[in-house]
Amino acid sequence: TLSVGTHYINRVNGETWLSTSANSATGTRLDYNPKFIFVELQGGGGGGAGSSAVWCSGGGGGGGYTFSGIALPENSHIKIVVGEGGHRGENRSDGYDGGTSYLYNANGSIILQANGGGRGRTSDDGRGIPGTYSGGTGLNGGYGGVKEQHGGGTTSTTLTYDKPEGTTFMRGGKSGGTTGGNNHGGGGGASAFANGSNGDSKGRPSSPGIQGSGGAGAGFHAGRANPGVAGGDGLAIIYY
């Protein structure tokens, strides 16, 4: 599993390396020196919005997800960029959009793209937009709930990577974050890997998003503003 940042998979003189620089035989050499890999990409979740002393706020959307196989060209590379989760909104402020995750070829063309979830919004100004995807087989994130509403879940998708045994696996089928209702923030949207963060407090929600899910919005007590919570960082997984 690859975390937030930029990663390269290089084919150098018949060897395959996971590295921090392009076309370099440094870092970690992959067992069996694969010439073909499968890549999963998850975008970052949107951050939940902060509340004011008189209203609560909405949750961020879950990041998009996509999956595909790709051949590794000899003496060349592919680049994987993993987006971070959106930062929380401070008092009376919207959250921040989640970062987008990408797979590029050596020429800089985008092969796969998993967009980050949209920021949670203050008051009832709209849902946190779900992250979408392009390229490969994927699914959209769940929407962030407006104040006092649950976040949206993700559809369940069956994927296959064509190893000799034809392995299948499931992604999605996760639930949006719940809300405690009156004076609680909206729940975060789900990702392919995780449920959304819960709007479980009239103050700051107890837990941020994880694995690309959206952060919940803040609740309020009269006379006190609160921050929301961050969305979960994106991720990438490689198989060979």
Asked if residues 215 and 46 have their Cβ atoms less than 8 Å apart, the reply is yes
Report the distance separating Cα 107 and Cα 111, nearest Å.
11
Asked if residues 48 and 201 have their Cβ atoms less than 8 Å apart, the reply is no
Mean pLDDT of the chain: 94
pLDDT tens, position by position, 137-171: 999 999 999 999 999 999 999 988 776 566 888 99
pTM of the model: 0.95
| In the chain, % of residues over pLDDT 70 | 98
Distance of CA 168 to the CA centre of its chain: 22
pLDDT tens, position by position, 182-200: 999 999 999 999 999 999 9
pLDDT at 231 over 80: yes
